[in-house]
Amino acid sequence: MKKFNQKGNLTSTLALIISIIALIISIIAYNRTGGMNTFEKRLVEIQKKSQSIAKETSKKLEEIGKKLKKISKSTK
């Protein structure tokens, strides 16, 4: 039968407990900063804003084009 080293068991148990505590702290910190959910939400918001800006720009360019055509017709 093997004899267990009490000092080795204590050290490994203590290391396991410390690593579990560190893991719990890191999970809490990750969730506190928002994790991936916040990143994904912000990405969707930015995409929506960029699409609306692109639509507005397109509309304004069309308006400018129409005005330029009117100006060119009136100068002929």
Q: Which two tokens stand for residue 47?
A: 């995409």
From the list 51, 58, 56, the residue with the least C-alpha distance to 66 is 58
Q: Which two tokens stand for residue 44?
A: 């969707």
**One digit per residue, pLDDT tens: the chain, 76 residues?**
455 556 668 888 889 999 999 999 999 988 888 777 777 888 899 999 999 999 999 999 999 999 888 888 887 6
Domain spans in the chain, listed from the N-terminal domain onward: 1-33, 41-76
Q: Which two tokens stand for residue 10?
A: 């204590």
What counts of helices (H) and strands (E) characterise the chain? 2, 0
